[in-house]
Amino acid sequence: MTRGRAPDEAGSVTLFAVGCLALLLLVGSALGVVAAMVRAHRAAQSAADLAALAGAAAVGGAGRGDPCAAASAIAERNGATLRGCTVAGRDVRVRTEVPGPRWLGQVADLTGEARAGPG
């Protein structure tokens, strides 16, 4: 007499393994999207920081030009789009935007904001 599996249990572990692999794939994809969003936010923030500094330098006389034009040029060189620029006295406030990851039809453009000036 040999002991074997019952016919109704054959292949049940395969379904469990496929389910676990699908779950791991989904979690890995989601973590990849989150990492891409963090990277895009960091890029937007660094572009905003540099653009605000360029605008403040233009206000301070180093560039002798339009602070918002200087900020826009620096933002574009860093892969961002300047979405807002305000000059209040010698302070320059900017808002930049970079395209974020596209996953399952979701659009996530990330922004960064910065201020530069004396004081």
- State the chain's maximal CA–CA distance in angstroms: 96
Give residue-wise pLDDT tens across range 31-41.
998 999 999 99
Share of the chain above pLDDT 90, in %: 63
Which tokens belong to 29?
């994809």
Q: What is the pTM of this model?
A: 0.77
Q: How confident is the chain (119 residues) per 10-residue block, as mean pLDDT?
A: 62 88 94 92 96 92 80 95 94 95 82 90
Alpha-carbon distance of 111 to 56, in angstroms, equals: 20
Alpha helices in the chain (DSSP H): 12-59, 67-77
